[in-house]
Structure 1
Amino acid sequence: MKKELLLQLSPQEAYDEEVFRETALKRAGISAEQPNAYARQVKRSIDARGRQVRVNVTAEVFVNEAPTPLLTTPKAYQNVSNADPVIIVGAGPAGLFAALRAIELGVKPILIERGKDVRARRRDIAAINKDHIVNPESNYCFGEGGAGTYSDGKLYTRSKKRGDIRRIMEILVAHGATEDILVDAHPHIGTNKLPILVAELRKSILDAGGEILFETKVTDLILDSNEIKGITTHTGERILGKGVILATGHSARDIFHLLHSKKILIEAKPFALGVRVEHSQNLIDRIQYHCEIDRGPYLPASSYALVNQTMFKGRQRGVFSFCMCPGGFIVPAATSPGEIVVNGMSPSRRDSKFANSGIVVAVELEDLPQYQKYGPLAAMMFQAEVEQKAWKVGGETQTAPAQRLVDFTEKKVSKSLLDTSYQPGLESADMYEVLPDFISERLRQGFIDFGKKMKGYLTNDAQIIGVESRTSSPVRIPRDKESFEHPIIKGLFPCGEGAGYAGGIVSAAMDGERCAEKLVEMYVLK
């Protein structure tokens, strides 16, 4: 016998396995002493709107019946050592999942990654935090696994059109993620667990006969008229394939410069830019969970989502939270010396005493008239100049400029700063010197509004740290809506965040799969 239940539970009932089993069986009219009775959660989400936090759970109860597995048995990957090759540039989620899908379709992926493997990246990341040394080829953005591997690992996406979200989640579970990501409404793996998972994805690709070339930088494209035949690496090696999936991420500025220099169609794209705001996690918990002291032993660290519309010089723009990291850390995400970029991450347990979130302003192309001379690189050049200004104001190291939150709204330089999770350290600064006025003024309005929505949020016991600038790609590489192929260069498939078609691990992974399918359909199976 199998029953499905919709339950509204207390945190203990939802997160204590034995209490959940007893509660679910009781609600199903079954004694907890009943032999061969089993209960499990299929979906779970927290509802903190009322004074008492509840957890909405879809549960299944089985009696004298074996539960069906949550995870569908993944296919064994066939050997493609001698199959037709396709080239995939970038080993982030888009590139890795494109490679796995290519293998499933009987094609050999040659995966080219400018950075190091996921384990070797650790040393370069440590050098940024401790010694303020930025390796432009290996950092928080570049290297196996892409930006998400060492900057959080949230798996929530609103993208429903690109592919099968459940399929992506099951592949992740098959490679080491916990089954909780199949259940939670806002699944999360964590930066401490993602490197192991990424290494397992690599193993599947290599075991099936795919190739992965680390520390290999693409410096040119091999074109025959308007068709791409392959790529040239920094060593001068030419690698040919049936097509090229370009999945280089949102920070590969050299690739955008390369495309522009070769007169390959690209477009300037709106994005968002702002700061990271850091509160104590306890404060956010008390606001969100309506608790007086702490959230207790069962509830996870709370998060928030905020948005406000602001006016400046007659133009309305959104100010919103981005990549909120409960129980997390702020990390230095620059990809070149001479710039400051901050991002957020959380370990799997989300047990840091800090909460941080990007608070960013929508930047439209009409906001950047003085950058129009750069053509399709206009937004990217603006982004780079703000990052360079932050570096100078912060002292020309990876020390980041910062300001207490109320001080920022009142335009006062902070006499002192708070403890922070940002390891390279902070320098008290006037963030109005770092940010353009159309950004800083909108942020000021946004923080004041957020303080009204979340009582206690606007406090000088919080601080802003700058700059949060890599929210999405400032350049779009256009492609046909149906074929996913570049409208002019045949065989070129722009993919993932760097091409402007994804916004996180899951959406990028789905986009990678679709690009692989389209390439194989058009250039291998035709």
Structure 2
Amino acid sequence: MTKETEIVCPPGQHEDEAVLKQLAASALKVPLKNITALKILKRSIDARGRKVLYRMQVRVFLQEAYQPEIFTVNYPDVKFGRPVIIVGAGPAGLFAALQCIELGLKPIVIERGKDVKQRRRDLANINKQGLVNPESNYCFGEGGAGTYSDGKLYTRSTKRGDVNQVLKVFVAHGADEDILVDARPHIGTNKLPQIITAMRETVLNAGGEILFDTKVTELLVDFGKIKGIKESSGEKIMADAVILATGHSARDVFEMLHRQSILIEAKPFALGVRIEHPQEIIDKAQYHCDVRGPYLPPSYYSLVEQVDDRGVFSFCMCPGGIIAPCATEPGEIVVNGWSPSKRNNPFANSGTVVQINMEDIPGSDTDPFKMLNFQRDIERAAFAAGGGNLVAPGQRMVDFVQNRLSTDLPVNSYLPGTKSVELKDVLPHRVNERLRKALPVFGKKMKGYYTNEAILVGVESRTSSPVKVPRDKETLQHPQVTGLFPCGEGAGYAGGIISAAIDGINCALAVKKIFS
């Protein structure tokens, strides 16, 4: 017999099986000797009170053996299966490929960038020399932006598909089983490359194909139906279905679609800065302590405030993290954040942004590049303000709010370097003013947040795609092109690793339907 219950314990006891069994016995009012095993289903930290607690939902085995789940997937051989072209090897593309294999279809994954091992050299050039390779960077390459953006697996997109299915695939390819139980699961940028490599091997061993350093330059369309793609070398690859999963930064793909008269649309996105504090400030505020204890992880936060009828909010918060340069073209500054698996760096950073709506930007709403061009202009302004070599414009928090140039900047994690500027000269007025009003309010919500020890680094501009590639709600196909499946963040249907993976799975299932 099994029963489920909630147990609560202080840090330090949450990993002691004997203590957990005693707590479960008390909660269920059963003899301790009757408990043969205990499995944690969900685990979270409750820091709402003065005492920080671990809350766990557990399954208790009463006089019954517990057999641990083995996380493996037996993929069929699809070497001679019907081909499906998948453009992009980010989370959406990789999970679409794995789902295709499960359905007996042969995925041909086309990735403009390099594999994760080769990609590291280009990332080193970005951080050390300020050199951006437009085809291989923090956004382009095997695993997409997700590989080097922390590996946060928290999502609210639970209605789109089976989140647990995605997590189990990660575990089957080397992720820690803790991601199945933690309320805010996290893999870590240092561990993701090995997991992505294992996923690649699964695709190849099953008979799929992955082509790196291969850029799609044209969709082959005949009488409104997909026939394949043409890549930069001139070679054509034929298939009756193309899943377009190119991510939010593949601007040339949007240009290609427009050039081919395939409908795309401008869409709103969020814009702001990345804010970095010493991690100890966040720990003190969230855990109500002077020093974080050894049994607690570096703390995160989530903040939101309505300012002038527009939300100002934090997102992609990275405890113990690093601010990374994520430009995809020379002459622009884009920042993002990531953390290693242990989250043991001395800083905490988070994107803090304001929604930019269509009516905020001059020009016709029918121009599909209206928001993209605005995004690019801001990124170029940030580059100019930094003075080159990917040096980013920065300002201390209180100085920013008080419209005062910082005389110096705090030590921070952004490796190419920061330059003291007045960010009001970079950010749009609407964004600047809403941030100025919101940050002191955030400081009232979280003690210690509003401080000149924090730095604002600009600009956080790739929160989502500024372009949408439309699709039918039922078939997931483009309304003009049969067999074209816009997918993931780049098409405007996901935001983060999990939702992108789910969308990739859903697109693969939709392909199977048209092939049936």
CA offsets, 1:185-207, max 9 Å, x none?
11111101111110111011000
Specify the SS of the correspondent of 1:273: strand
The question of 1:299 aligning with 2:296 is answered: yes
1:170 corresponds to 2:162: no
Deviations 1:119-159 (A, max 9, x none): 11111111101111111101110000010111111001111
Name the SS for the 1:375 alignment partner: coil
After superposition, residues 24-103 of structure 1 pair within 5 angstroms as: 24=24, 27=27, 34=33, 37-70=36-69, 73-103=71-101
SS at match of 2:369: helix
Contact preservation (8 Å) 2:89, 2:110:
yes
The residue number in structure 1 matching 2:358 is: 365
Change (3 A) 1:285 1:15: farther
Using structure 1 for the length normalisation, give the TM-score.
Answer: 0.95
Tell me what 2:449 maps to.
457
- What's the offset of the Cα at 1:378? 0.7
Q: Matched residues in 1 for 2:389 and 2:223: separation? A: 45
Aligned 8 A contact 1:16 1:298 in 2: no
Task: Report how far residue 29 of structure 1 moved.
Answer: 5.8
In the TM superposition, residue 45 of structure 1 has moved relative to its aligned partner by: 1.2
CA distance in 2, matches of 1:166, 1:69: 16
- Which 10-residue stretch deviates more, 513-522 or 3-12? 3-12
Query: In the alignment, is the contact (CA less than 8 A) between 1:325 and 1:344 conserved in 2?
Result: yes
Q: Secondary structure at the match of 1:12?
A: coil
Deviations 1:96-122 (A, max 9, x none): 010111111111110000000011111
User: Aligned AA for 2:217?
Assistant: T
1:101 counterpart letter in structure 2: Q
1:444 and 2:436 are equivalent in the alignment = yes
Higher mean alpha-carbon deviation, 20-29 vs 341-350, is at: 20-29
Do residues 2 (structure 1) and 32 (structure 2) align? no
- Cα-to-partner distance string for 1:459-494 (whole Å, 9 max, x where unaligned): 001110010000001101000000000011111000
Aligned residue number for residue 12 of structure 1: 12
Q: Structure 1 residue 360: deviation in Å?
A: 0.2
| C-alpha contact 1:374 1:381 (8 A) present in aligned 2 | no
TM-superposed CA distance for 1:4, in Å, is 2.1
Percent identical among aligned pairs is: 58
**Matched residue, 1:221:** 219
Q: Is the Cα–Cα contact under 8 Å of residues 25 and 39 in structure 1 kept in the other structure?
A: no
Q: Is the 8 A contact 2:265 2:366 kept in 1?
A: no
Which of 200, 205, 208 is matched with 1:207 structurally?
A: 205
1:352 aligned partner: 345
Matched, 1:343 2:341: no
Q: Partners of 1:70 and 1:25 in 2: how far apart? A: 24
Alpha-carbon shift at residue 511 of structure 1 (Å): 0.4
In the alignment, which of 292, 303, 307 is matched to residue 310 of structure 1?
307
Deviations along 1:346-369, one digit per CA (max 9) or x if unpaired, are 111111110000000000000001
Cα distance, 1:494–1:84 mapped onto 2, change above 3 Å = same
Which amino acid is the alignment partner of residue 312 of structure 2?
A: V
Counterpart of 1:467 in 2: which secondary structure?
Answer: strand
Rounded Cα–Cα distance in structure 1 between residues aligned with 2:132 and 2:16: 44
- Which deviates further from its counterpart, 55-64 or 166-175? 55-64
Give the CA deviation at 1:57.
Answer: 0.6
In structure 1, how many angstroms separate the alpha carbons of the residues matched to 2:378 and 2:366? 16
Contact kept? 1:28, 1:61, Cα under 8 Å: no
Q: 1:97 to 1:324 in 2, by over 3 A?
A: same
Q: Give the conservation status (yes or no) of the 8 Å contact 1:21–1:40.
A: no
Pairwise CA distance, 1:20: 3.7
Give the drift of 1:40.
2.8
Residue of structure 2 aligned with 1:406, choices 398, 402, 406: 398
Q: CA deviation at 1:21?
A: 4.8
1:427 pairs with one of 419, 423, 431:
419
CA distance in 2, matches of 1:31, 1:429: 66
- Quick one: which of 460, 467, 474 aligns to 1:482? 474
Task: Sort the Cα spacing of 1:411 and 1:18 in 2 relative to 1 into closer, same or farther, 3 A.
Answer: farther
User: Which residue of 2 is the match for residue 328 of structure 1?
Assistant: 321
Aligned pairs for 1:145-294 (under 5 A) are: 145-291=143-289, 293-294=290-291
1:153/1:189 contact within 8 Å kept = yes
Q: CA deviation at 1:23?
A: 4.3
Local SS of the residue matching 2:117:
coil
- Within the candidate set 458, 463, 472, 1:471 is matched to 463
Deviation per residue, 1:424-452 (Å, 9 max, x gap): 11111110111111111111111121111
- Structure 1: how far apart are the matches of 2:166 and 2:478? 25
Report the alpha carbon displacement of residue 30 of structure 1 after superposing the two structures with TM: 6.8
- Report if the CA contact (8 A) 2:396-2:409 is conserved: yes
Unmatched tracts of structure 1, length 5 or more: none
- Work out the CA distance in 1 between the residues paired with 2:367 and 2:225: 24
- Listed one character per residue, the Cα deviations across residues 13-64 of structure 1 (whole Å, up to 9, x for unaligned) are 22455644554456556777x5983223111111111111122111123354
Normalised to the residue count of structure 2, the TM-score between the two structures is 0.97
Amino acid across the alignment from 1:57: M
- Find the aligned partners of 2:30 and 2:420 in 1 and give their Cα distance: 61
Kindly indicate whether the alpha-carbon contact (under 8 Å) linking 2:86 and 2:109 is maintained by their aligned counterparts in 1.
Answer: yes
Aligned residue for 1:120, secondary structure, equals helix
Per-residue CA deviation, residues 55-104 of structure 1 (Å, 9 max, x unaligned), is 21111233542214345x54311001111111000000100010111111
Distance 1:133 1:22 in 2: 57
Task: Name the CA distance, whole Å, in 2 between partners of 1:208 and 1:91.
Answer: 16
Preserved CA contact (<8 Å) 2:134 2:330:
yes
CA distance in 2, matches of 1:118, 1:374: 38
Give the stretch that moved more between structures: 8-17 or 155-164.
8-17
Looking at structure 2, the residues matched to 325 and 423 of structure 1 have their Cα atoms a distance apart, in angstroms, of 16
Give the Cα–Cα distance (whole angstroms) in 2 for the partners of residues 295 and 15 of structure 1. Answer: 18
Structure 1 residue 225 displacement after superposition? 2.2
Q: Work out the CA distance in 2 between the residues paired with 1:385 and 1:77.
A: 46
Q: Secondary structure at the match of 2:136?
A: coil
2:349 counterpart letter in structure 1 = N
Name the aligned partner's letter for residue 442 of structure 1. Answer: R
Q: What letter is aligned with 1:300?
A: P
**Separation in 1, partners of 2:416, 2:21:** 46
Return 153-162 or 383-392, whichever deviates more: 153-162
- CA deviations 1:166-193 (Å, max 9, x no partner) are 1111111111111111101111111011
Conserved 8 A contact 2:35-2:60 = no
- What's the counterpart of residue 378 of structure 2? 386
Alpha-carbon separation, structure 2, partners of 1:400 and 1:110: 38
> In structure 2, how many angstroms separate the alpha carbons of the residues matched to 1:163 and 1:141?
25
Q: Distance in 1 between matches of 2:81 and 2:11?
A: 52
Which of 129, 135, 141 is the aligned partner of 1:143?
Answer: 141
Deviation of the 1:300 alpha carbon: 1.1
With over 3 angstroms needed to count, the CA separation of the structure-2 counterparts of 1:36 and 1:455, relative to structure 1, is closer
